[in-house]
Amino acid sequence: MDIHRQALPLRQRDVQKWFGVWGVADYYTLLKHQAEEGAEYNAGYFLLVITAAVLAVGGLLLNNPAIIIGSMCVAPFLGPSRAVCIGGIYGNARLMWRGFVKQVIGLLIIGVTLSLIITLALTAVLPDIGITDEILARSMPSTQIAVLSIMVAVAAGAAASLSFSAEPRVVSTPLHQLIDTAIGVEIAISLIPPAVVVGIGLALGRPDIALRSLALLGVNVLGIDVVGSMFVLILRGVRKRWLELEQTVRQIIETTVDTISPGDVEESLASVTLLSADLVCAYAVIRNYAGEPVPDGFAQTLAICITDAAGCQAEVLIDEVACQKISTLST
């Protein structure tokens, strides 16, 4: 493996230190990928929503907090909330809308409808089914409970964003998956119980409870997606222009490798690390199948191209890997 490295003069990176996440490879692109994954539909999402709704109905009607907490543990609403938040910051209206629609489908179409059907079925065979304290607590019976519930929703949204920005270097590690699981439970605290209470209220002939729970659910969604999540990431310095800078540098590397590099370069992998608002560290792995070495000064060429096209100073590291490719696949 040959390493070619050429850097332009670098400045200190204390500029805008507190208004951006620096020194994490592909950080802003990773946020976009996480949001896109959160907006995708799959069978697991629908199955988890159904399971969470059934557990929540049982816990609320039994007045059992432990079962309600269990429903929160399986509710999959962190992903769509993240899509709304990051899509909004990046100005991606389609991504933001997809995340919101996914929330609506999970909470209102599945959660409310399923809780309505289950409660109606239970009241037909269990005449003692009625309104419990846990149900009342999700229908804003007092201003105090309403304010505290909204505060919890905003804090949960803030926690979702802090899991990305407080310790950004763990975002791509298995530890972050554990953090996401815990944050997902916090998000579900403010979403699945009030959604289920809407259906229970309708089934038990209490439209007042259903309407108040629906209002609480709407305020909680706003608090989680915008007031909590989006505000924290904006405060942390997450901006669309940093995503565009990463994408621009990556595109420059791929284009330059394709047009300048000799030999049979069939694949190049690029990673971009923003060290400050005007300082970029780019790392590229070039897999060369022809055995011809990358010429000296190629890293410098890349650095100059990045500086000219992106308007920022650049440090470039290239790893050249001589590879062989053998395939037994029929053509």
Fill in the DSSP letter of residue 279.
Answer: E
Residue ranges of domains in the chain? 2-15+241-322, 27-238
Note the pLDDT of residue 57. 95
Note the pLDDT of residue 205. 92
Q: Please tell me the pTM assigned to this model.
A: 0.84
Note the pLDDT of residue 266. 52
- Summarised one tens digit per residue, pLDDT across range 60-83 is 999 999 999 999 889 899 899 999
The answer to whether the CB of 192 falls within 8 A of the CB of 216 is no
Note the pLDDT of residue 37. 92
Which 3 state secondary structure label does DSSP give 265?
Answer: strand
The answer to whether the CB of 267 falls within 8 A of the CB of 47 is no
Note the pLDDT of residue 8. 38
- The yes or no reply on domain 27-238 and CATH 1.20.1080 is yes
Q: State residue 81 phi and psi, 5-degree precision.
A: -65, -40
Note the pLDDT of residue 194. 93
Where is 86: in which H helix or E strand?
helix 78-89
**Sites in the chain below the pLDDT cut of 70:** 1-19, 166, 169-179, 260-268, 289-295, 330-331
Order of strands, edge to edge, in the sheet holding 2-7? Answer: 2-7, 313-322, 279-288, 265-276
Please identify, in words, the CATH class of the domain defined by 2-15+241-322: alpha beta
